Chains A and B, each alone.
Chain A
């Protein structure tokens, strides 16, 4: 996950999302949907995923905060391929290895 800073929880379950920051277009949909699911309000700058941008053009990193619940809800709304649910990736492309 080049460029992605993901807090790996000390839990037995696997982080559910494949992360490709280089594909992120910066639409913030993941942040908004995270905030509505996890905070009960629409507040992207307080969500558990952060899209870090450079001068309005490129995403430098996708970062999950300590509070991330690993729910994977953000990935359901990424249309640019930057966040992909592992279970969907496996279903769609058996055998593909995580980058």
Chain B
């Protein structure tokens, strides 16, 4: 089967059994690859009511049809689990493990079971071994990676965890090559629960595609188009920092437990572009990425001078550490980031939880006895202390390690109303100042609250309906779909639009295409369809690819429903309705994209009805029988 490796690798760590199953051509065509294949494998492997930290949970990695083909920016791996944080499906599209997995001869990998003692796995093409990791257990992520590179060669790709994940902290992550985070919602803890310290991968089998010359010509064409992007230089220099000053000035950096936006002047002077460039050392791209939003920090002078550490998203680091804890400079942010990565702690979850507890303490709702007799002050010492307490599960760190639900259980369920969380997870950013599809996606996303499925053009203010129409044309909306999206007094219907933004982003994830604008913009539905044919030789219609994206979302939704999710889970944090926040010093309520009106619970519930209707789900959010039949899932779902 050209374009695919043609095999699914399955490893049961309880029995040590390693099997290689054929990827059936009809399955490949139906689910295409990436996140969609992961959804299928998750649904069939992990049964309802499975404990996420039990041997029965699965760690799934999926490559895509475009992985390793030379198509620029099409390099992402999908990592899927049942989340120990939310109890629902969790996917992360990150890092180039999948590309190397495919070069080793596998499209997908499914790891189940639990090893009797710490192990790591080596995958060198056909040769797969489960090896003793006793000497690695306890080492941090970077030490583990360096040791494994020394042992097996620098050309290997690594996936590893540090101490917090070993101790099954539900807010822990796993990392590809030290920096690409497979996270949000406890991927690291799932590895820890399996006694799996790391995976070492080297692929030399390569890959053959159906139409090599034609594909090469297309790659050249896409690459030349990429080079014409007027924002290329700033993107290459700054990565996600490209938007940092706008973010601060628009008040998107929240602190004090989402009660206020961080002062923009302080934000720019401490974390703006000028300060960033002082600590940016070199680019650190994913495989086959000519853009490199990733980087290596190096602190040349000042506090922690000499520290050098890789970073996947600078914006994420300053939104997390910089503003929430009022850190004084980049050096302090970099030190916190480095510490969290080494310990394998999810930066976003940890910082939101600590900020939440600080706010409770500042407002006298909890006292210092709760936090081991310590006053939670907004400074670097507090952050570093609690990172280590979480990793060691020491004192109240043992509670923070397991997220909001554990805190509510320990301190009282009434604290739910004080928190800004959904499904036990933290939001990435504050959608109240600019409520686009990613804001609505925070409520409805099947793997939320991480809203990447719904990340679209409305992440920038002032987009016109005409601009949205161009986006919709590129991403494959039919005339009827467009009519429903744009038949709205606001100019567009955000609920209905969210469905199609999600469909597009899921299709990008199916193909492993990065959603950074200079890369994602290169690909239209028509081009993806053409490229899929050149890679695989399979003649496929654009609608079939969109249907694969729908299968993925519906399967993840069905998985969540089986695990107990209901309409009540598709909501925004309660506080968004009950109290205003201080946006740039001004009292502000949740409001629509054009700031024409305050949004109430009734508005959001009405949109939820429309979103469900657009998706072909009933009023409770359950995919209808007709919908499942239409997308070819009727016979695959459990009764």
Contacts and interface: CB of A to CB of B under 8 A. Distances in A.
Interface in B167-220: 177-179, 202-209, 212, 216, 219-220
Interface in A17-59: 25-29, 32-33, 35-37, 39-46, 52-58
B206 A41 contact: yes
B265 interface: no
Contacts of A79: 227, 236, 290-291
Contacts of B206: 35, 39, 41-43, 46
A77 interface: yes
Contacts of B292: 25, 27, 80
Contacts of B158: 56
Contact of B310 (A43, A45, A56, A77): A56
A27 B291 CA distance: 10
Contact of B204 (A45, A58, A76): A45
B204 A46 contact: yes
B69 interface: yes
Most buried by B among A32, A43, A53: A32
A28 to B, nearest CB: 5
B178 A43 contact: no
Interface string B293-320: 0001000000000001010000000000
Nearest to A58: B282
B154 A55 contact: yes
B155 A45 contact: yes
Interface string B46-74: 00000000000000000000001110100
Interface residues of B, number: 43
B290 A57 contact: no
B284 A29 contact: no
B440 interface: no
B284 A41 contact: no
Nearest to B227: A79
B626 interface: no
A35 B206 CA distance: 9
Contacts of B288: 27-29, 32
A29 B285 CA distance: 11
Given A45-B204, A53-B154, A56-B178, A25 B70 contact: no
Contacts of A55: 145-146, 149, 154
Given A25-B292, A27-B286, A57 B103 contact: no
A35 B68 CA distance: 11
Interface string B210-238: 00100010011001000100000000100
Contact of A27 (B146, B178, B205, B290): B290
A34 to B, nearest CB: 10
Given A33-B70, A55-B146, A45 B154 contact: no
B209 A42 contact: yes
A29 B72 contact: yes
A44 B202 CA distance: 11
Contacts of A43: 103, 204-207
B226 to A, nearest CB: 8
Contacts of B212: 36, 40
A36 B220 CA distance: 12
Nearest to A43: B206
A57 B308 contact: yes
Nearest to B294: A25
Contacts of A46: 204, 206
A56 B155 CA distance: 9
Contacts of A58: 282, 296
B401 interface: no
A15 to B, nearest CB: 22
Nearest to B67: A42
A99 to B, nearest CB: 18
Contacts of A56: 145, 149, 154, 158, 177-179, 310
B261 to A, nearest CB: 35
Contacts of B179: 56
A42 B154 contact: no
A95 to B, nearest CB: 24
B233 to A, nearest CB: 11
Interface in B256-283: 282-283
B68 A32 contact: yes
Contact of B285 (A25, A32, A35, A37): A25
Contact of B154 (A32, A44, A54): A54
A37 B290 CA distance: 19
Contacts of A27: 285-290, 292
Contacts of A40: 208, 212
B146 A26 contact: no
Give 4 closest A-B pairs by Cβ, nearest first.
A43-B206, A79-B290, A25-B283, A27-B285
27 contacts: A25-B282, A25-B292, A28-B287, A29-B288, A35-B206, A36-B70, A37-B216, A40-B208, A41-B207, A42-B103, A42-B207, A42-B208, A43-B206, A44-B103, A45-B103, A45-B202, A45-B204, A46-B204, A53-B155, A55-B154, A56-B177, A57-B282, A57-B284, A57-B308, A57-B310, A58-B282, A80-B283
Given A52-B154, A55-B146, 19 more contacts: A25-B292, A26-B285, A27-B292, A28-B288, A29-B70, A29-B289, A35-B206, A36-B70, A37-B216, A39-B206, A40-B208, A40-B212, A41-B207, A43-B205, A45-B204, A55-B154, A56-B145, A58-B282, A79-B227
